[in-house]
Amino acid sequence: MRFGGIPLSRDWGEKADRVSRRLSEFSRLFKSKSYCKPSDLFFSIEDLPSMGKEYWFLHFCAPPKDEQVVLTLGRSSEPVRVNKSKVRPNTKEGTVQCAAVCWHYGKNGKSADFNSIANVRIGKCGGKGASGLCMEHGKGKLLVSGKRAGFRIRLERQGKVVFSAKAKPQEKGVSRELVRLLDNPIAPRLGAAMINYYYDFSGKLEGKPLSGRAYLQKVVAVLPLAPWNWVRLHFAGGATLDSFEAKPLGGKAGLSFATKSYFEKGGRRIELGSLKIESWLKGEKRVWVLSGKNLLAVMESYALQPFVMSQATTFRYDEYLVRVREFALKAKGRAYTLENLGQGVGLVEDASGYLL
């Protein structure tokens, strides 16, 4: 059998058919899952098909303080190298291998608590036998347990607790969202489902009390990774700004779109429409400007955690911790600035390249 002059093995067609059937089965299964409880998606490990990806993302922010904690776990259906670790798509007795990057900014600046391969499972974990997400490798450990009413999080490094917290739904506004991106007429076997929790938290970082806002996310996708920018800012007075812009062609061909941009205060969300993000300088000194109709936000980076993911292609994903230096928004007949919102801090994600 030949295609374009390239010789192919005799069973190539059978292999292609098997992949096609597997994708179809996964698509039907994925669409049929009710995920009636958000935790059903968060506390699950999926049987990933070709191009499948699964990851957990947890972010803790405590404005006006600079302290932040970022916890990321992820895997792919194909082998992928993340930074210096090669993650293989193997499953053993309910345990999967993930790339795990856990880091925080504390009293002594940035600290990388974990940046390696880890074994991840769903089940009984923790000293009290709570059911949840368990990540372990050597003396590094992350435990996330709970349900809709709240979660417990504990991060250990070298056997010592670095961060512990209790997270519960915020009193006002949307506290959780189950998002489905599966009905795609162009490529019906591609799509994603995700759960987002918008919670408050209280706990300890490096032994000192810390409280603020928590964002917990789980995503399962059958999609290539393409460039994006995501900005999430929290203000001392309780307001939040969230903006996501996908750039499927890298933003160079004029094709980009904002899937969600909003400002939330007092439990009320205000849609901001399409926003534009630009940057100057590099590394931890990078300056970001987010702008749109009646909005200007200037952010200064103060910490950076880079990710480099490679298969046949390379995808770069950088997490920046930022302080808000200037902010002006006019919405619904009101003006919002740092004077009435309080100091703002948060996270900017900058993703480039592609990963199939």
**Domains of the chain by range and CATH?**
21-27+34-223 (2.40.370.10), 224-356 (2.40.370)
- For the stretch 67-91, what's the b/e string if a residue is b when 16 or more beta carbons lie within 10 angstroms of its beta carbon? bbbbbbbbbbbbebebeebebeeee
pLDDT at position 253 is: 47
What pLDDT, on the 0 to 100 scale, is given for residue 14?
47
Q: Which amino acid is at 195?
A: I
Alpha-carbon span 72 to 218, nearest angstrom: 10
**Residues contacting residue 253 through CB under 8 Å, at least 6 positions apart:** none
At residue 6, the pLDDT reads 34
Question: Do 134 and 143 form a contact (C-beta atoms < 8 A)?
Answer: yes
CB-based contact 341:235 (threshold 8 Å)? yes
Q: What is the pLDDT of residues 322-345, one digit of tens each?
A: 999 999 999 989 999 999 999 999
**Position 260, amino acid:** K
| pLDDT, position 41 | 81
Tens of pLDDT along 241-283? 999 988 777 655 455 554 679 999 999 999 998 899 999 999 9
pLDDT at 37 over 70: no
Confidence of residue 188 (pLDDT cuts 50, 70, 90): low
Lowest mean pLDDT among 116-125, 251-260, 304-313, 346-355: 251-260
pLDDT tens-digit series, residues 146-180: 877 889 999 999 989 999 999 999 988 889 888 77
pLDDT bracket for residue 85 (50, 70, 90): confident
Overall size of the chain counted in residues = 356
